[in-house]
Structure 1
Amino acid sequence: MSSYLIGLVGSGIGPSLSPALHEREADRLGLRYVYRLLDLDVLRLPPGEVLAAARTAGFDGLNITHPAKQAILPHLDELDPEAAALGAVNTVVLRNGKAIGHNTDATGFAHSLSRGLPDVAMEEVVLLGAGGAGAAVGHALLSLGTARLGVHDVDPARAAALVEALRRRFGAERAGTCEPSAVRTADGLVHATPTGMAAHPGLPIDESLLREDLWVADIVYRPLETALLAAARARGCRVLHGGGMVVLQAAESMRLFTGVQPDAARMLAHFEEMEGEPAHAA
């Protein structure tokens, strides 16, 4: 039986469902698979030192989450083309003495949106958050056909850098920076910051900007019903929680770690069992 030691690197990751998702699917696949949380807040080490320690300890791979998706980049030996284009990594394969960075967030979000909100208008979409997760979501939205993407971040330089990367890949007319008030005329809103997580409660936007004909997607999944989604639902918006994205990116990460294709539908069902809600639109 093949065996794997995998970890999750990030801050405030105690509530993560990743260990249960990965280990249960590995059992179904006949793999010996141990998944450990490497919480930066607990270890009090920067991401690069955690990666170095994981390599020394014999880890086979790492998932990377907030706030390390970009901070980990200088410490990797290689990047696959998608991760290089996104400028962010959520999966690191440790093999043959090398740390190779990948990004499964973009495809995970794209598949989740297509599955959960398959018929929404995407002429104009606002993206809140230009960090590692925001970069993946931005690329996914433009790949899915968003005509004009407005990007807002509390750090204007970070928003501008993501817009520049998106323009290089998709064309100058497809992306620009914006203020949250752009939501007033947008078709959709995607939230990709830590706000709303258990450790970062609150709303990322003034709820008065939400309106009935706006769709709202959140990449946060703990809690599944964030304050943003609750406010959007109360105003009649169609909403998408972060469960589908986290499951679908996890399935692709497992494939990269093991070379074995997980059953994504089975993993979605397991997530629904743990959360008591479907892992797509709500």
Structure 2
Amino acid sequence: MPSPRTFYALGLLGYPLSHSRSPELHRGFLRRCGLAGEYRLYEVPPGHPEALRAHLEALRREEIHGLNVTIPHKQRVLPWLDDFTPAAAAIGAVNTLWADHGRLWGDNTDAPGFLHDLQAHFGAWATRPHRALVLGAGGAARAVTYALLQAGWEVTVAARQPAQAATLCAALKAAASHPSGALCRPLPWAQRATLLPPPDLIVNATPLGMAPRAETSPWPSAAAFPPQARVYDLVYNPAETRLLQQARAAGLAAANGWGMLVAQAALAFRRWTGCAPLVDNLPQKP
């Protein structure tokens, strides 16, 4: 349980951040828990490690009390951290940081947040292992793949850089034991729409479709979807991404990542403050 504070300085580290709804969420959490504080956006473009480290050192000095981490820094911050939760160590990416007696800790709340929202949208179907196709091989894809493997799924990872997908699968296999039947294999990006046997779930863990490039999609415009597949897009801004439009036009059940954002944020907030906000009462759409 973290020590109570009179004021909580919280924030989000990433780039770009103009689309982020995290400040709105966490300010709502502060009000629900009756806590004083702020949640700021810390934009650090790629290629500026000195700025990244400066924010982490402010966290170590407890000038900042909690940081979320998003694209593109979920793996880039790892060298400056001292300790990891078991899930974060296995995933090899973090989204929640805090300091404890001068040591920087990293956790990953994306994995449980994703599973929570997947089951909220797709019900009992999502509680049973199926075949999934994860698009992307960055920090978010690592968390999603880890969560599915821990639930016993067969996961295929397609990335524009094939070596990155292969590394992801190899790392998760080496870092944690998974239930019998769980499997992770890489796939060339060009073959994502022709995978056999076809996936039951397609997850977009790339930034394709995110504002301001809302016209983009990770799914080829001329390609058919597997019949009866579910589609989950981690992108939540815009609420109706190009991928979701494609999936719904094909008659498929589909959901964006807003609920995952809420769930992972609530878990991070509890880590920092000890207060668990009532996420079930939060709006489920941007």
Aligned residue number for residue 96 of structure 1 = 101
Deviations 1:147-168 (A, max 9, x none): x211111121211111112333
- The CA distance in 1 between the partners of 2:249 and 2:211, in whole Å, is 21
Q: How does 1:12-91 map to 2 (within 5 A)?
A: 12-41=16-45, 46-56=51-61, 58-91=63-96
What stretches of structure 1 of length at least 5 have no aligned partner? 276-282
Deviation at 1:24, TM superposition (A): 1.3
Partner of 2:183: 174
Moved more, 153-162 or 170-179: 170-179
- The 5 Å alignment of 1:1-282 reads 2-41=6-45, 46-56=51-61, 58-118=63-123, 119=125, 122-146=129-153, 148-168=154-174, 169-170=177-178, 174-178=183-187, 179-183=191-195, 185-201=198-214, 202-207=216-221, 208-266=223-281, 268-269=282-283, 272=285, 275=286
Determine if contact 2:210/2:236 at 8 Å carries over to the other structure: yes
SS of 2:246 mapped into structure 1: helix
User: Alignment length, in residue pairs?
Assistant: 270
Task: Decide whether aligned partners of structure 1 residues 142 and 197 sit closer, same or farther in structure 2, where only a CA change above 3 A counts.
Answer: same
State the percentage of identical aligned residues.
38
For 1:200 and 1:81, the matched residues in 2 are separated by 35
Give the structure 2 partner of residue 278 of structure 1: none
Q: Is 1:117–1:240's contact at 8 Å kept on the other side of the alignment?
A: no
- Determine if contact 2:59/2:98 at 8 Å carries over to the other structure: no
Compute the displacement of 1:95 (Å): 3.0
Kindly indicate whether the alpha-carbon contact (under 8 Å) linking 2:199 and 2:226 is maintained by their aligned counterparts in 1: no
Residue type of the alignment partner of 1:40: V
Can you list the C-alpha shifts for 1:212-269, whole angstroms capped at 9, x where unaligned?
4221101111112111111111111110110110000000000001112221213x33
> Which letter does structure 1 place at the counterpart of 2:233?
D
**Unpaired segments of 5 or more residues in structure 2?**
none
RMSD, matched Cα = 2.2
Note the alpha carbon deviations across 1:174-231, whole angstroms, 9 max, x for none: 1111231344611111110111111444011213132442211011111121111111
The CA distance in 2 between the partners of 1:43 and 1:152, in whole Å, is 26
CA drift of 1:57 comes to 7.0
Q: Counterparts of 1:213 and 1:116 in 2: how far apart (Å)? A: 15
Query: So what's the TM-score if we normalise by structure 2?
Result: 0.87
Q: Are 2:225 and 2:247, in contact at CA under 8 Å, matched by a contact in 1?
A: yes
- How far residue 42 of structure 1 moved from its aligned partner, in angstroms, is 10
Aligned partners of 1:88 and 1:99: how far apart in 2? 14
Compared with structure 1, are the counterparts of its residues 167 and 42 closer, same or farther at alpha carbon in structure 2 (3 Å cutoff)?
closer
Q: How far is 1:12 from its partner? A: 1.0
CA contact (8 A) 2:15 2:43 kept: yes
